[in-house]
Amino acid sequence: MDIQVSLDNHNALTALQFDITFEPSLFAEIDTSKCTSRLSGGPYLAACRRQDPPNDDVIRYVVVRTDLRPIESGILGNLTFQSAANAPSMVSPIGALECTGLGVSESGKTIPLAAFDFEAGEIVPRISA
């Protein structure tokens, strides 16, 4: 199941870091290889990876625009979640951690990002017969 990650850059951010959280026990694998697909080939340094245990319920994004212009709004990339074999069919909310969200404006001002700056989503693991 693919989840799109998008940015509505209303603060003219030139760099940002944020974490996406989810319920790790429901998913066998998470493919982050396309998590910054729209940014590849542009003036960006961008990375996304699942954190190591005990923080394996976190995927961290870091995006920097090297020409110091604002990061364009839109879809940054995709995350692909593969349900665990024993995952129940239930809703797994995804959200953002308040403590780690941070942006940098064109003027170099640091802008803290909080959970309400992110649009929450949800993943529904479905068991295939």
Number of domains in the chain: 1
Would you say residue 128 lies in a domain? no
Would you say residue 25 lies in a domain? yes
Ranked by mean pLDDT, the top range of 22-31, 62-71, 92-101 is 62-71
What pLDDT digit, counting tens, does each position of 6-44 carry?
Answer: 888 888 999 999 988 888 888 888 899 999 998 887 899
- What values do phi and psi take at 25, rounded to 5? -70, -15
Q: Residue 29: how many CA atoms within 13 Å on its side-chain side?
A: 5
What tokens were used for 58? Answer: 């976190």
Q: What is the largest CA-CA distance in the chain?
A: 54
User: Distance from CA of residue 49 to its chain's centroid?
Assistant: 9
**What count of other Cβ atoms lies within 10 Å of the Cβ of residue 29?**
10
3-class SS at 27?
A: strand
* Domain limits for position 72: 2-123
CATH at 65:
2.60.40.680
